[in-house]
């Protein structure tokens, strides 16, 4: 290519779809314009990436930034900076915790405006499916939602109701017309509501009681019901935060019949199990809950076998006082940790000998394909220069100083990863770079 490049990344171990190769990457106008053994042409800037792995920037399709309306939980400014520090260059924000929730075209337009103003990296927005808003789905699709989200159990948020069966199947029919995907929080509402009431009456909200109130059977029932409805409505589905092997096997059976379905699990289900809830309390509460050690191992095996489509964070922050009760039924259910998904997956890769190119697919490539994100998710000539530079020889211990979320409480606090995110680039622009000098001054 003729002319001066904006940036050359020198001698990185580049994680390509076909494997890892040591290459120079040339960037111009935010795009990858050359991938060569050595680039000698002039460049405005050069980044020496010797000894570092260059991953595609993570695409986290499941985060909650709660803006507008609840910016004190986490907004687009702090949230996007945190994601960049974790090697993410795009996120999809969920519709439920803002005020108003993203269930109408007007609410979507306002949220797009706020996110565009404040986000450091690229984003897409989910719309919501709730009782009574089926007639808003088409206009939200026209306005650019990435897809729609619905809950089959209570959300914990008065502004965003769980769907009843009629809303679910009618909404699926409308969503199918738009060509979009319906993402589902799949836990049986009747089952979890009944069990929660039973345990709340006779217990103290212990870790064991909370786990028993949201059994694998609740997830499995909701998955199966949604699949039956989607088959009738011809609606593409995406199951979020799948936490059990049995549920994934049911999803795989539907895929084998030709249904358009994908599934994710989250980093916290892979790194932690029910013991963490017993040790850390409400900080480790999420829904579905962290499962047994045996079920955690089964999920890791599924990842090793490439049976999940992608990995997300389900970053769901809240102020500390919402995580302060010893009674787990009274505490907010969400894990704060969007910064650590790529690091978690690299840890699993190192521990279980998973090829880095598989990790790149799980954290970027498969999501780009699923949601038809042109120029994203893969390191290719012509694609956006979205990268995470990972140092696999420098451990990273999570502290309040280096956790970039608004609130400094997380299940990951104190955890040491075997690798460090050295830098992140979004469309060729450096959006994060480790500052070791600053760390030494603390």
The 10s digit of each residue's pLDDT in 311-335 is 999 999 999 999 999 999 999 999 9
Of all residues in the chain, what percent are helix, strand and coil, respectively (each to 5)? 40, 20, 40
Question: Which structural domains are found in the chain, ordered by start?
Answer: 7-54+382-440 (2.30.40.10), 58-370 (3.20.20.140)
The model's pLDDT over 339-394, given as tens digits with 9 standing for 90+, comes to 999 999 999 999 999 999 999 999 999 999 999 999 999 999 999 999 999 999 99
Residues sharing a CB contact under 8 Å with residue 275, sequence separation 6 or more, in sequence order: 293
Q: Return mean pLDDT, the chain.
A: 96
The model's pLDDT over 211-240, given as tens digits with 9 standing for 90+, comes to 999 999 999 999 999 999 999 999 999 999
Place of tokens 């405005």: 44
Q: Which one is predicted more confidently, 370 or 441? A: 370
The answer, yes or no, to whether residue 183 has pLDDT greater than 90, is yes
pLDDT (0 to 100) of residue 441: 47
pLDDT (0 to 100) of residue 436: 65
Q: How many CB atoms lie within 10 A of CB 117?
A: 9
Residues sharing a CB contact under 8 Å with residue 351, sequence separation 6 or more, in sequence order: none
The answer, yes or no, to whether residue 442 has pLDDT greater than 50, is no
> Under a CB-based contact definition with an 8 Å cutoff, are residues 202 and 329 in contact?
no
Q: Which residues on adjacent β-strands are paired with residue 389?
A: 54, 423
**Cα(64)–Cα(86) distance, integer angstroms:** 16
**Cα(177)–Cα(166) distance, integer angstroms:** 17
42-73 b/e (C-beta count within 10 Å ≥ 16 → b): ebeeebebeebbbbbbbbbbbbbbbbbbbbeb
The model's pLDDT over 91-130, given as tens digits with 9 standing for 90+, comes to 999 999 999 999 999 999 999 999 999 999 999 999 999 9
Q: How far is CA 380 from the centre of its chain?
A: 23
């Amino acid at each position: 290519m003729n002319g001066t490049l904006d940036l050359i990344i020198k001698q990185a171990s580049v994680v390509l779809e076909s494997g890892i190769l040591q290459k120079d990457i040339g960037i111009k106008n935010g795009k990858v314009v050359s991938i060569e053994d050595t680039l000698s042409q002039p460049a405005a800037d050069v980044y020496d990436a010797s000894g570092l792995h260059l991953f595609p920037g993570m695409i986290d399709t499941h985060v909650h930034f709660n803006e507008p309306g609840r910016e004190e939980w986490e907004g687009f400014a702090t949230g996007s900076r945190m994601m960049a520090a974790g090697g993410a260059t795009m996120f999809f924000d969920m519709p439920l915790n803002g005020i108003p929730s993203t269930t109408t075209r007007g609410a979507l337009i306002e949220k797009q405006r706020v996110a565009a103003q404040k986000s450091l990296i690229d984003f897409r927005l989910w719309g919501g499916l709730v009782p009574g808003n089926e007639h808003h789905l088409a206009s939200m699709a026209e306005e650019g939602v990435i897809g729609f989200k619905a809950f089959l159990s209570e959300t914990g948020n008065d502004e965003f109701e769980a769907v009843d069966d009629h809303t679910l199947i009618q909404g699926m029919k409308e969503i199918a017309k738009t060509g979009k995907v319906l993402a589902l929080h799949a836990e049986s509402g009747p089952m979890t509501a009944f069990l929660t009431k039973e345990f709340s009456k006779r217990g103290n909200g212990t870790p064991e009681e909370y786990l028993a109130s949201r059994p694998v059977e609740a997830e499995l029932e909701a998955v199966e019901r949604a699949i039956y409805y989607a088959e009738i409505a011809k609606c593409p589905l995406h199951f979020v935060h799948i936490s059990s092997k049995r549920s994934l096997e049911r999803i795989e059976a539907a895929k084998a019949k030709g249904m358009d379905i994908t599934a994710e699990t989250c980093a916290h289900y892979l790194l932690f199990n029910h013991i963490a809830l017993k040790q850390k309390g409400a900080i480790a509460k999420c829904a579905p809950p962290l499962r047994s050690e045996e079920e955690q191992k089964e999920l890791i095996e599924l990842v090793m076998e490439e049976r999940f489509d992608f990995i997300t964070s389900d970053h769901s922050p809240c102020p500390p006082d919402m995580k302060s009760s010893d009674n787990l039924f009274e505490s907010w259910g969400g894990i704060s940790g969007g910064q650590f998904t790529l690091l978690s997956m690299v840890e699993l890769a190192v521990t279980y000998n998973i090829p880095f190119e598989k990790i790149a697919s799980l954290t970027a490539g498969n999501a780009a394909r699923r949601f038809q994100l042109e120029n994203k998710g893969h390191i290719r000539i012509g694609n956006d220069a979205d990268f995470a530079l990972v140092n696999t020889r420098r451990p990273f211990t999570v502290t309040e100083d280096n956790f970039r979320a608004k609130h400094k409480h997380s299940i990951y606090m104190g955890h040491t990863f075997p690798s460090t995110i050295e830098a992140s680039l979004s469309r060729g622009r450096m959006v994060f770079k480790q500052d070791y000098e600053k760390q030494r001054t603390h």
